[in-house]
Structure 1
């Protein structure tokens, strides 16, 4: 059971749709921006077939599950697949473009037709992504920038922290139809860009203090408890379980066997740490009164009867500027790198010699059509 929602599938909020075409700056900014968006927006997870005991007070459990913070990672994976398909078709097209890749009632669908459809479906944006990656790779080589496994792991840990933890991070991946390995394939581009641009970024102590003062409320941590629970339908079931616990039965084992909360039962009923407002009132009121190691009597809520065991506790805490200084510096550096990356990418692209057969022809056609249109307009004005 997730502390925010116990409904099986873990999804996140999506504040924007996947864009079919990304310009050069957007492709570069995407990985940098996603962590910042995640840090700004709380992440909810939902489980469709279990009980939303941990929903915030007043939440409407009948509403559709929320989706993820703005992220084009799913598009990026689709682009990789599409790019691979395009390369395969390009390789074979020269010699056997008329060869059938499929037939429908005897009518052929050729490799050439497949290639054309792949181009229509996203060839331009896929090729642009490949051009961008090559540009960054070249600039990284000039700057002697390399990417190690440690760099990738550090980047992953930073993302997990900014998403709010392992569960929310995994939910974001699930929403984007990605695995950790998929994400790792995308990260070298982000790491290279950060390493290239970070030396150009300066963050002062005054900026850090201003950020701390502006966001001081976010540097306070509410009291939290960690608890496990067993959820059943009736008081009689709860009382029977309590009797077994008093006789020495293991709480986690009974949770796996008897709890109806599919979100937590496999973890022995563990709900991880939660704040008071993360739970329905009946649950929180009891959990926050228990001492570590204590187990409650049967607690009734709209979802049934809970037996709650508190396993850990964190006091409320207000963090000082000194305690958060390194974290704030890292955040400000990321923000400045994100802002700088757009300009840097545009300038780098302008300096590079790039040919793109998918877009150059269109630009040439537009340039040819423009004088013709101007001449026609001139003729009209002289009539």
Structure 2
């Protein structure tokens, strides 16, 4: 299953607080939840550093998120409750953390006006109804806007204070991420473009026969097809065409031209009602830009990573030593430490954040019952996430020990360490050849053609038609006259399922097609209770691209795979040296027992009474807790779209 980097999940979640980047939609489907987690009056569920979070707020997060609302029982329900609570803890802390940021009433009014206009809610009645449907008043909504603007300004302030990347940091990033600074493949070439296929075929024969390609292009191209420069794809500079990237050619033409890595001339290729022939005079493979050219981009990339780290550090600071007091026992949750590494405790909620926000997890819940999903997640996804988190928490310590100028969020530093461990990986000719041999189907274009099927009740009639029709006139008319029923199958690719297997084999595998006019006839094929003769035009045999045409593609793919493997091996070894303690299995076992113990027992009929005695229910949440420091760093904010609320009015 695909896993999101921790920092990405963090920053994406925090981004919902940003008014400037948010599309407000007053519909029930708004990101699965309320706009900013509006402050509601109601039963207190818990307090966060003295700030109350209500039962209604927590319920809203659950009901407005399809994943969180998918089950009310079992291990996953327990996980979701922990996720919900920890997300509200974070929201509350962020809200308190931006209270001192000044936002004027005019700023709020301008933002609200923008929101109303962008949602066609300039009518006051429509605006009021829209707010009420989301549980807001105009005043409470403006308070949420104030909080959002305050958060945006706070993070902008944090980022502005970050120093730009140093030369050492930028150079290391450049050295470890050469793929980020690689130019696209380019070609020096010319094209002939005409509107008639027969003419294009004749011109191709002349080009292959040694005729001057540039002259053929000048004599036959239209003005818009570079007639004035002999069909040169790029402008003429110093007597030669400038190299161009693949995007300079039509979609159907580009791959064929760029496959000619040794130069040469393409076949005639149809595109947009025209017919193209491209001559590749020189192929320029992708290459890493010199550092002097890439330095500015490398500096920008590293500076952005340092900004990510600043926000991550600020959030961690807010969450440090947070005091949580549970008021409603039904919302008390367990958030134990699941791992310890480099002197840092990793809370279970960090694991849950990655699980809940995992796209494949959401898809899994739609396919299997919750209890089966829990088994799969506990056995596969959570252990994978746990290892990723351990690597992230350990990364900064490892980088310091190796004296590497790696910066950024936890996961960005971990990625840098993996790249460092794979920095010397190379791809050999043997690696490329082996990959090509083992994956040759990736480079095959299946056979295809245009197919019409004539179906007969009688085999003899089918055979008679096949032997008598010579391709003159209409296939449909001739087959119908002979007693057949014709079905136009249209464009068919071998194995695409449009034809039954026996018919597919007759068209694309059989060796005895009979030429008839502009196409070919198959043998008579028994298909069900009927007998078919198929007429195929524009038949193209299957082709396999030669290794020379796909070598650079394979090299990139193999290099990436080898680097990923070697990088992870290196990172795993470095983390192991820190002797991390992984308690995930123990935590999951304890959770399983706790949830099982809290599950209501089946009712048992009372002896002789004819009535059932209700089973007693023990809340899965356990007993009320006293004020307790949060274990580790609560690291979740839901995808529900809810965000911090605050009671502080906008500055006037």
Judging by fraction of residues, say which structure has more helix.
Answer: 1
Task: Give the TM-score category using the shorter length.
Answer: 0.3 to 0.5
- Which structure has the bigger radius of gyration? 2
